[in-house]
Amino acid sequence: MENKGKREVVVSALQFACTDDVATNVATAERLVRAAHSKGANIILIQELFEGYYFCQAQREDFIQRAKPYSNHPTILRMQKLAKELGVVIPVSFFEEANNAHYNSIAIIDADGADLGLYRKSHIPDGPGKFYFNPGDTGFKVFQTKFAKIGVAICWDQWFPEAARALVLQGAEILFYPTAIGSEPQDGGLDSRDHWRRVMQGHAGANLVPVVTSNRIGKEIIETEHGKSEITFYGNSFIAGPTGEIVTAANDKDEAVLVAEFDLDKIKCKRHSWGVFRDRRPELYKLSNCDDTQYGWTRSSEALEPQTWTHFVQINALPKVKFFLR
């Protein structure tokens, strides 16, 4: 879509079920990227770790072998070629090996196929995720693409308002969250969908920026030493506008290609007129830099004291492991 006189951008969120075959999943992602492009999309978000099953529901050493170095990563190279062919921006989620460290990472591919750099997931949730991933060391970054300055964060990052605000303070005009979320392996009855969606709608409204979220669908079953573990991913990928309104959304079962158009200059004027950044008082926010243990919160690696039980949901699964709802 030509941008004449306005800074209009069309964003897209993809949603599909993954198999345990990399080639099949990458081919599906490419097919849906092409479908999004045919609908006029300029920036197209693929879901988190789309190359295979979401292995983080179980702790297995063989899954670590799935990590690959950032340099010359085959899926990133393929998406660079695709981005250049179509003239679109594609954030690419992947499991990164970096010497002895492993990260949940995303590379930002610009519309000319250039790799603009990567972001490594900052917040690693309790459970098997901590077995696979080091906490990211990139900090929150924004990327100047052909169509917009964008901020990206990954799954559990999306629950933290500090992350969204840090990105917008650096000039992010749109926030993108690739995600893999559904039922908890230890309790299939837990459903965080509505909470999950409202949190990100809040980020959009509080920062007056669009938010694009891509999640997977389907049931994935993984063998563990304790038997089978399964997650049913609830999809519901969506695009929210700058006041937090849902512009378009998918359901919990079907493959989807969501698109929405935004006028970034119009949104910039709205953000300025609301004054939420003009009226900020950073000198009053020093509390946000404090360790939470100073105010009665116990970190998950510490003993769960009776007076702090309301801060956790503890699920009887692996010994000495506490899971947050996420």
18 catalytic? Reply is no
Q: How far apart are CA 249 and CA 256, in angstroms?
A: 9
Q: How far apart are CA 52 and CA 229, in angstroms?
A: 16
* 209: DSSP letter: -
Q: How far apart are CA 233 and CA 48, in angstroms?
A: 12
Q: Which of 18, 56, 97, 121 is catalytic?
A: 121
Q: Which of 8, 18, 48, 51 is catalytic?
A: 48
Amino acid identity of residue 55, one-letter, is F
**Residue whose pair of structure tokens reads 């119009």 in the numeric block:** 266
* 113: DSSP letter: S
Centre a 10 Å sphere on the Cβ of residue 42 and count the other Cβ atoms it contains. 24
Query: Which stretches of the chain are assigned E, i.e. beta strand?
Result: 8-15, 43-45, 90-98, 101-109, 115-120, 142-144, 149-152, 174-178, 211-214, 217-224, 227-234, 238-240, 246-249, 256-263
The Cβ-side half-sphere exposure at 194, using a 13 Å CA radius, reads 2
Report helix, strand or coil for 259: strand
**Residue whose pair of structure tokens reads 């999950």 in the numeric block:** 196
290 catalytic? Reply is no
Q: Which token pair is 245?
A: 């309104």
Cβ contacts of 149 within 8 Å, gap of 6 or more: 142, 143, 171, 172, 173
Q: Which of 97, 155, 173, 184 is catalytic?
A: 155
Instruction: Give, for 222, the enclosing helix (H) or strand (E).
Output: strand 217-224
Q: Catalytic site residues?
A: 48, 121, 155
